[in-house]
Amino acid sequence: MRIALFVTCLADTLFPAAAKATVELLERLGHEVVFPPGQTCCGQMHVNTGYQSQALPLVRRHVRNFAPYDVIVAPSGSCVGSVRHQHAMVARNAGDERLAVRAEEVGRRTYELSELLVDVLGIEDVGASYPHRVTYHPTCHSLRMLRVGDKPLRLLRNVRGIDLVDLPAGEQCCGFGGTFALKNADTSTAMLADKMGHILETKAEICTAGDSSCLMHIGGGLSRLDAGIQTVHLAEILASTEAATDMPGRASEGSA
């Protein structure tokens, strides 16, 4: 299958290991991954902060760049959620029905990584090996907007050597929420403290999730505690094999 990679801003600028791992994993499974070079921000942060008119050119560009592809994947439930649930709305609010219809078509072909693997490719065992104690944080957009359910956990349970432990109160938000963490810093910090406390309870070496944004937030807090727990994107774990180094986050560049 030919799959287009929507890399997302955060992966492109701060956490490229998640995007690289997505490509490595899909190619190992026998698929061709292509990178549409004209892609930019999907406009989520503009929409979430009330700047829909500024998001409109980004929606147009996204649709133009990804319309030629039958399957699109991104290592981010948050950005996939924006493509599916915000793009057509932005176009319609601007009075561009043709763009709205095209955005809906692109949205239907866009998947978060675990969705692509389980729902489209029909795979739950990707042949990964990761001998570490791991807990999984289900991010809000993947859980509530995309409704990925237990797909990431089903993939993780089939990883060789993994010691997967449940995260208490896992469905609670970590407190990031993009600009929420800036505009409501005290509330965000309190939510993060609760999340870190539950992660510490698991005695895990690794906290994983499908969004680098949440891992950035959680990883920053854990590093300030000097907790000795790393944050590693789901794609990096699924891309790991016995031939790879046994260090957590084989290609990890920091906390996510």
User: Do the beta carbons of residue 73 and residue 32 sit within 8 Å?
Assistant: no
CATH number at residue 148: 3.40.50
Residue that finishes a domain, picked among 92, 120, 148: 120
10 and 113 fall within a common domain: yes
Strand order in the sheet with 206-209: 163-165, 133-136, 206-209, 230-233
The predicted pLDDT at position 184 comes to: 86
* Residue 125 domain-assigned (yes or no): no
Model pLDDT, residue 182: 80
pTM reported for the whole predicted model: 0.90
Domain boundary residue among 98, 120, 142? Answer: 120
Residues 248, 174, single domain; the answer is: yes
Asked if residue 176 and residue 247 are part of one domain, the reply reads yes
Q: Return the residue matching tokens 């699109």.
A: 72
Closest CA to 176 of 142, 218, 143: 218
User: What pLDDT was estimated at residue 32?
Assistant: 98
Number of domains in the chain: 2
CB 18 within 8 Å of CB 9:
no
Contact at 8 Å (CB) between 25 and 239? yes
Counting as low any pLDDT under 70, the low residues of the chain are: 243-256
**98 in the same domain as 189:** no
Task: Compute the mean pLDDT over every residue in the chain, rounded to the nearest whole number.
Answer: 92
Contact residues for 24 (Cβ-Cβ < 8 A; gap 6+): 239
In a domain? residue 35: yes
Residue 14 sits in the same domain as residue 51 = yes
The whole-angstrom separation of Cα 213 and Cα 232 is 11
138 and 226 both lie in a single domain: yes
The residue to which tokens 């084989």 are assigned:
250
Q: 126 in a domain, yes or no?
A: no
Assess whether 111 and 140 both reside in one domain. no
- Its domain, for residue 22, covers 2-120
Could you say which of 64, 96, 120 is where a domain stops? 120
Q: In this structure, are 60 and 167 located in the same domain?
A: no
Asked if residue 27 belongs to a domain, the reply is: yes
Whether 128 maps to a domain, the answer reads: no
DSSP state of 127: -
Six-digit token string for 3: 């799959």
Q: What is the DSSP track for 60-86? A: HHHHHHHTT-S-EEES-HHHHHHHHHT
